[in-house]
Amino acid sequence: MNRRPQQFWIPAALSLGTSMGALMLLQKLIAPLHAPWKHAGVPVLPYLLWTMSLPMIGAVTAYVSARAGSSTISRLVAVLFPAILMLAIWLFMLAFAARRPVQWSNFFFGLTLWALIPGACLVLGNHLFFHSRNAHKVLANNARLKRFWLPALISLCLSLGILALSSLVAQNSYFLARGWSNQVVYLPWLALSPLCGAAGAYLSGRAGGRPSMRLLAGLFPGIAMFSLGIALVLTGMVVFVPPHFSSMWRACPASIILPSLALLLGVLPFLGKNMSEVPKTQSSALQ
């Protein structure tokens, strides 16, 4: 029986459809706004949220491909399928569609933005999920998926959903006319972040996760934002306005430190007890 569709084509279609669907959904929910969500013509907010979701998409694709018994190379190509397709599109544009002299700086900027960085994020998800030397043991025991990845994904999705909803509300003409748009985006997201951290820590604890795993699952949105921010700054895709150090020290507390502290407030109540034993205790008491 030919298992090629289950090992490669279905995971590749899953990776492509999920990544493109997430990008389209974010662009639909978060219409390109004025500064600070646009930088050099790029809608920064949808792009940031999209790249933050790609490691999870890569991990899920790798899991589905490996469950079907694929080889390492086949699994990696399935995970990278969206980036490979985008790379082919850019090369086709360079070879056949360019009617004017090629602006190489813009070409490599677009190639990095839409192929290299997404590919690196997808590979990161594959690497984090299959960090063990024996992938079959990981597949046989999916405790890590239940104790960390699913809670972390839920925490991240809740955070992104709240941010997308607050951004949508902030586009109302009433808030735009009074200059309150940024506050309407930021303050509700910050106030509800403890719920996102609590959800990740609670679900990880219910699955038997250790306190350290609960902490990482609850803080995952802040970790993802911090890692992505460093990558974009180092690649020059996000540039702080002069004076650079002053702008950086204003941006870091607002975008990383305060949201992480808010997530931590929700995580702390779920670090001190073994939550996996609660259902057993309750069932024994009922008997």
Between residues 254 and 234, which one has the greater pLDDT?
Answer: 254
pLDDT for position 198: 94
Specify the number of domains making up the chain.
Answer: 2
Last residue of a domain, one of 99, 122, 141: 141
Between residues 108 and 82, which one has the greater pLDDT?
Answer: 82
pLDDT more than 90, % of the chain: 15
Instruction: Select from 223, 251, 256 the least CA-distant residue to 238.
Output: 251
**Which residues are within 8 A (CB) of 165 and not within 5 positions of it... i.e. 6 or more apart?**
29
Residues 33, 164 within the same domain:
no
Q: Does any domain span residue 285?
A: no
Residues 88, 177 within the same domain:
no
**Which residues are within 8 A (CB) of 229 and not within 5 positions of it... i.e. 6 or more apart?**
238, 255, 256
Residues 173, 260 within the same domain:
yes
Instruction: Dihedral sign for Cα 171, 175, 178, 182, please.
Output: negative
Average pLDDT over residues 179-187: 84
Residues 184, 120 within the same domain:
no
pLDDT tens digits for range 161-180: 788 778 778 877 778 788 88
Q: Does any domain span residue 74?
A: yes
CA separation for the pair 222, 171 (Å, rounded): 25
Categorize the per-residue pLDDT at 8 as very low, low, confident or very high, splitting at 50, 70 and 90. Answer: confident
Q: Does any domain span residue 225?
A: yes
Residue 80 in this model has a pLDDT that exceeds 50: yes
pLDDT for position 39: 39
Q: Does any domain span residue 163?
A: yes
Categorize the per-residue pLDDT at 216 as very low, low, confident or very high, splitting at 50, 70 and 90. Answer: very high
Q: Does any domain span residue 287?
A: no
Last residue of a domain, one of 120, 141, 162: 141
Residues 103, 237 within the same domain:
no
Residue 282 in this model has a pLDDT that exceeds 50: no
pLDDT tens digits for range 110-125: 778 788 888 888 988 8
| Domain assignment of residue 232, given as a range | 142-277
Q: Does any domain span residue 283?
A: no
Last residue of a domain, one of 122, 141, 160: 141
CA separation for the pair 136, 203 (Å, rounded): 25
Residues 82, 17 within the same domain:
yes
Residues 150, 192 within the same domain:
yes
Q: Does any domain span residue 125?
A: yes
Question: Nearest 5 degrees, angle CA 159-CA 109-CA 43?
Answer: 35
Residues 38, 61 within the same domain:
yes
Q: Does any domain span residue 76?
A: yes
Residues 16, 111 within the same domain:
yes
Residues 11, 127 within the same domain:
yes
Residues 43, 176 within the same domain:
no
pLDDT for position 97: 58
pLDDT for position 143: 72
Residue 183 in this model has a pLDDT that exceeds 50: yes
pLDDT for position 201: 93
Q: Which of 6-10, 143-147, 186-190, 208-212 has the lowest mean pLDDT?
A: 143-147
Residues 132, 146 within the same domain:
no
pLDDT for position 140: 46
Instruction: Give residue 178's Cα distance to chain centre.
Output: 32
Q: Which of 136-145, 170-179, 250-259 has the lowest mean pLDDT?
A: 136-145
